[in-house]
Amino acid sequence: MKIYNTLSKQKEEFVPIEEGKVRMYVCGPTVYNLIHIGNARPMIVFDTVRRYMEHKGYEVNFVSNFTDVDDKIIAKAIEEGVTADEISKRYIAECKKDMAAMNVKPATKHPLATEEIGGMIEMIQTLMDKGYAYNVDGTVYFRTRKFKEYGKLSHKNLDDLRSGNRALKVTGEDQKEDPLDFVLWKPKKEGEPSWPSPWCDGRPGWHIECSEMSKKYLGEEIDIHAGGEDLVFPHHENEIAQSECCNGKIFARYWMHNAFLNIDNKKMSKSLGNFFTVRDIQKKYDLQVLRFFMLSAHYRSQLNFSAELMEASKNALERIITAESRLKDLLKNAKTEEVTEAESALLDQASEYTVKFDEAMDDDVNTADAISAVFELVKFANTNADENSSKGFVAGLKKQLEELCDILGLIIDKKEEILDQEIEDLIAERQAARKAKNFARADEIRGELLEKGIILEDTREGVKWKRA
């Protein structure tokens, strides 16, 4: 499988550090609000990378943090008159609901920055001991110029960066040795959450959080580190500097970055008012539609969000769901079991779409082309499966379609919606069947309802039902 590596600016063959295993870290959101659809892009994209790697047989240790101590969280806490902890806990819970609705698998581990402060202090201390960090009145800075490879991820030249940053020196950061030095630890301000440290009561800088959480849960060397492209500089560049100077090892072998999601061809921003949370979208669409929309473009291409594209995604996804439910009906009513010779040849032909799908995914996770292969399979199934098909043939196509959609994390096997009135009618029919001592039919109805998620309870006051 090839992956585009921001470090080398090339697609490279993926070779894991440990055979059969993948150690992957994805920078998670800062939790001070409901997540927006821009935040949803890396979640969906890298969940799909994980699913595909698992499908290829890798055991993926997938770690994604929540940044739960940050200026924005503190500001929101002050605004509401509650603690920062209350804000972050609330929005972590909300974020997890959104992730579930987008069918994003929970990470193997979701570390919280506030629970890992001890490890961050240890890393900073090691950097101090090795001469890579210095303390000025309680603020600890990283000595950027000491790390010779600084700039290797963002392909920035240190001298250019320095001249570009000269202006910083006059804006109150003159206690730094160099404008490029960045904060590892900062003293607390009144009313802010803080932790004791050898330098002062305070809190960590943002970058050291990810260096530590990645090290603790995945080890000093990992396979993939990922996030949105805005994180390349300075966040990921600084993570590399800290981790490699502290551990003396290459931090991450492959760096993956998703491009941005825009709205109506403009950058999403609160001030422009073109800002959607995942919850906003959920009011109008099943979030499977949002997932489909995100995967319809390659993750390194800018993606534009618009009402038209969402409608198109909804219709496209509907076509897959319709094909799936048609296969389900055909399977139920098929008259023969065994796959015929002609059908066997057709199944061979259909397997070509899986080959195409895998080729697309192997080429730097080209989900756009992978979805095209799914549509070719849909068309093939619509054309070649009918009332005369055998159970084996229909089951084969159905399984193939479900497998491909499952890799993309698209749920296509919808539980059929059943209205309250239909339930009441079936219950009435079941009562009549029981009265007529037709217990077989009565049981059949109970089973039918159960399949649709309706549980019946026979009570003294009559039959009661509830949705599972």
Query: How many C-alpha atoms does 66 have within 13 Å on its Cβ side?
Result: 27
CA pair distance 220, 76, nearest whole angstrom: 34
Residue 5 interacting partner from ligand AMP, Zn ion, none (CB closer than 5 to 8 Å by kind):
none
Length of the chain equals: 468
Collapsed DSSP state (helix, strand, coil) of residue 113: helix
Quick check: 27 binds ligand AMP (CB under 6 A)?
yes
Residues of this chain, 247-276, that bind ligand AMP according to CB under 6 A: 258, 260-261, 268
Q: Provide the phi-psi class of 299: left if phi over 0, else alpha when psi is between -120 and 50, else beta.
A: alpha
CB of 43 to ligand AMP, least distance (A): 8
Quick check: 27 binds Zn ion (CB under 5 A)?
yes
Phi, psi angles (nearest 5°) of residue 385: -105, 130
- Token pair listed for 283: 């009011």
Taking the least distance from each CB to ligand AMP, the nearer of 76 and 356 is 76
Taking Cα atoms as reference points, which of 40, 33, 112 lies closest to residue 75? 33
Rounded to 5°, angle at Cα 362 from 99 and 347 = 95
Taking the least distance from each CB to ligand AMP, the nearer of 134 and 276 is 276
Among the listed ranges 4-12, 20-28, 128-136, 374-382, the one in contact with Zn ion (CB under 5 A) is 20-28
- Token pair listed for 425: 């009618």
Taking the least distance from each CB to ligand AMP, the nearer of 233 and 260 is 260
Taking the least distance from each CB to ligand AMP, the nearer of 30 and 366 is 30
Q: Residue 414 carries which DSSP code?
A: P
Pairing verdict, β 133-136 and 59-64: unpaired
Quick check: 39 binds ligand AMP (CB under 6 A)?
yes
CA pair distance 37, 50, nearest whole angstrom: 20
Residue 210 interacting partner from ligand AMP, Zn ion, none (CB closer than 5 to 8 Å by kind):
Zn ion
What are the percentages of helix, strand and coil residues in the chain, rounded to 5? 50, 15, 30
CB of 88 to ligand AMP, least distance (A): 12
Q: How many residues bind ligand AMP (CB under 6 A)?
A: 15
Identify whether the C-beta of residue 108 lies closer than 8 Å to the C-beta of residue 102.
no
Taking the least distance from each CB to ligand AMP, the nearer of 233 and 285 is 233
Taking the least distance from each CB to ligand AMP, the nearer of 105 and 162 is 105
CB of 62 to ligand AMP, least distance (A): 15
Taking Cα atoms as reference points, which of 317, 290, 321 lies closest to residue 414? 321
Partners of residue 4 on adjacent β-strands:
11
CB of 101 to ligand AMP, least distance (A): 17
Taking the least distance from each CB to Zn ion, the nearer of 27 and 334 is 27
Q: Which of 41, 110, 253, 298 binds ligand AMP (CB under 6 A)?
A: 41
- Token pair listed for 278: 């995942």
Residue 261 interacting partner from ligand AMP, Zn ion, none (CB closer than 5 to 8 Å by kind):
ligand AMP
Collapsed DSSP state (helix, strand, coil) of residue 39: helix
Q: Which of 7, 23, 24, 42 binds ligand AMP (CB under 6 A)?
A: 42
Q: Which of 16, 38, 151, 409 binds ligand AMP (CB under 6 A)?
A: 38
Q: Which of 3, 180, 210, 449 binds Zn ion (CB under 5 A)?
A: 210
Identify whether the C-beta of residue 383 lies closer than 8 Å to the C-beta of residue 316.
no
Q: Which of 29, 111, 193, 234 binds ligand AMP (CB under 6 A)?
A: 29
CB of 454 to Zn ion, least distance (A): 45
Exposed, middle or buried, 397 (CB in 10 Å: 0-12/13-18/19+)?
Answer: buried
Residue 38 interacting partner from ligand AMP, Zn ion, none (CB closer than 5 to 8 Å by kind):
ligand AMP
CB of 268 to ligand AMP, least distance (A): 5
CA pair distance 363, 185, nearest whole angstrom: 41
Q: Residue 66 carries which DSSP code?
A: B
No. of H helices and E strands in the chain?
Answer: 15, 15
Q: How many residues bind Zn ion (CB under 5 A)?
A: 2
CA 127 to each of CA 114, 210, 220, 247: distance values in angstroms, whole numbers, following the listed order: 20, 15, 15, 9
Residue 260 interacting partner from ligand AMP, Zn ion, none (CB closer than 5 to 8 Å by kind):
ligand AMP
Taking the least distance from each CB to ligand AMP, the nearer of 156 and 319 is 156
CA pair distance 207, 242, nearest whole angstrom: 8
Residue 29 interacting partner from ligand AMP, Zn ion, none (CB closer than 5 to 8 Å by kind):
ligand AMP
Taking the least distance from each CB to ligand AMP, the nearer of 120 and 231 is 231
Taking the least distance from each CB to ligand AMP, the nearer of 66 and 199 is 66
Longest dimension (CA), the chain: 91
Taking the least distance from each CB to Zn ion, the nearer of 210 and 397 is 210
Quick check: 230 binds ligand AMP (CB under 6 A)?
yes
Identify whether the C-beta of residue 84 lies closer than 8 Å to the C-beta of residue 188.
no
Binding site for ligand AMP (CB under 6 A): 27, 29-30, 38-39, 41-42, 227-228, 230-231, 258, 260-261, 268
